[in-house]
Chain A
């Protein structure tokens, strides 16, 4: 064996660590009404992620297992799962960090289509309702939700200084993985709740110096199903893998909505 001194500080090759037991939630339309759990034994090493393990199950034990994944590097937001009861990205969670029998379930607070796949449509509707694009001052880009945006009349580039970018940059990091919704008890009780990520995205555009859509967004935010179901549990920000801090976005929107309410009171009173 030849020792490579230059490689000493590199990551060691993956080591086989034995077998792990995964309890995986299963559901079939027309199958058992409330779903069931299947137990699988999977070989794992230092670098086996939960997505790798699920893929191994699919290839070697049960080809019917359904789950979502794409980038396998924490950027597409499709692999959110409840891992040992906590919402996490399956591609960023290593099997070696789990207990001897880890339970893998679909994201909480969403309806299950099949096995680990949930219906994301309620979130997509919520996201669209807050106009997740830069609304121009001439209103031409202010397309209604569901309609294609018209091209802007002005051909001026939307210039921005670094401090202006910093005002919303954190909120722009959202990958729509929905871990925040799965962590939020209010999202479980109020299925129509606009929720953390959609509000963070609304605030991302509201705080963009090029945007003129804050008024329209406030009409969506400042409603019984908008920001107000939030009781500041704070769990959304704790589980967010991108440091977006949606809880801060919601509290911020509450301050703005309360400010507008106070202003209306004074001007009408």
Chain B
């Protein structure tokens, strides 16, 4: 290979890249919604286990779910789910144009079910 004076400068992505502009901040927020959603999923799973262990354990889980802090966490999870669904769909509006219809409908139904599930649980526990 011929001699070269090239010294291409490779720049590293700065650590705080996701704070640099509004679009990456929004992306960060969308990714962070996974945390409350995961916490809520674990909480629901515990509920299922409690249900299988008998009425007392179930009642205890219900009481635990009514704790103001847990209620607040559930509300956050619901908000996160809605935020995720809305931002995801605004992004994927164009994919609708190119993806097969059944896939899109399937995804929409899945998201709707997850959001509905969170809402129903929240209301049930509140009530």
When distances are taken between beta carbons in the complex, the residues of chain B under 8 Å from A248 are: 92, 94-95, 97-98
Spot the interface stretch: B16-24, B46-54, B71-79, B109-117: B16-24
User: Is A62 an interface residue when CB atoms closer than 8 A count as contact?
Assistant: no
- Return B71 CB to nearest CB of chain A, in Å: 32
A103 CB–B CB distance under 8 Å? no
Distance between Cα atoms of A13 and B82 in the complex (Å): 50
Decide: A29 near B95, CB < 8 A? Known: A86-B21, A112-B11, A185-B24: no
Chain B, 56-99, CB within 8 A of any chain A CB: 88, 91-92, 94-95, 97-99
Number of interface residues of B (CB under 8 A): 26
A163: shortest Cβ distance to chain B, in Å? Answer: 13
Q: Does A21 contact B (CB under 8 A)?
A: no
Contacting residues, chain A, for B13 (C-beta < 8 A):
108-109, 185, 188-189
Decide: B6 and A255 in contact? CB cutoff 8 A. no
Residues of B close to A108: CB separation below 8 A: 11, 13
The smallest beta-carbon distance between B101 and chain A, in angstroms, is 12
What residues of chain B lie closer than 8 Å to A109, measured between beta carbons?
13
Q: Size range of the interface on A? A: 20 to 34
B57 smallest CB distance to A (angstroms) = 38
Given the complex, which residues of B lie within 8 Å of A34, measured CB to CB?
9, 11
A111 and B12 CA atoms in complex are apart in Å by: 10
Whether B99 lies near A252 (C-beta < 8 A) is: yes
Distance of A119 Cα from B99 Cα, bound (Å):
34
Question: How far apart are the CA atoms of A139 and B50 in the complex, in Å?
Answer: 62
A269 located at the interface, meaning its Cβ lies under 8 Å from any Cβ of chain B in the complex:
no
Whether, in the assembled complex, A125 has its beta carbon less than 8 Å from a beta carbon of chain B, the answer is no
Number of A-B residue pairs with CB-CB distance less than 8 Å in the complex they form? 71
Docked-complex contact A30 and B23, CB < 8 angstroms: no
Query: A113 interface residue, CB < 8 Å from B?
Result: yes
The smallest beta-carbon distance between B2 and chain A, in angstroms, is: 15
CB distance from A104 to the nearest CB of B (A): 15
Q: Which of A220-269 contact B (CB under 8 A)?
A: 231-235, 237-238, 245, 247-249, 251-252, 255
Task: Determine if B91 and A27 form an interchain contact, defined as CB atoms under 8 angstroms apart.
Answer: no
B24 and A29 contacting across the interface, CB-CB below 8 Å = no
Task: State A111–B10 Cα separation when bound (angstroms).
Answer: 5
Residue contact B21 to A247, C-beta cutoff 8 Å: no
For residue B6, give the distance in angstroms from its CB to the closest CB of chain A. 6
Q: Which residues of A contact B11 (CB under 8 A)?
A: 34, 108, 111-112
| Nearest 10 pairs of A and B residues by beta carbon | A111-B8, A29-B7, A188-B13, A248-B94, A112-B9, A234-B91, A245-B94, A251-B95, A252-B98, A248-B95
How far apart are the CA atoms of A185 and B13 in the complex, in Å? 8
Contact A234:B9 (CB < 8 A) given known A85-B20, A255-B103: no
Question: Shortest beta-carbon distance, B108 to chain A, in Å?
Answer: 15
Instruction: State whether the Cβ of A145 lies closer than 8 Å to any Cβ in chain B.
Output: no
Q: Are A113 and B6 in contact (CB under 8 A)?
A: yes
Chain B nearest CB from A221 CB (Å) reads 14
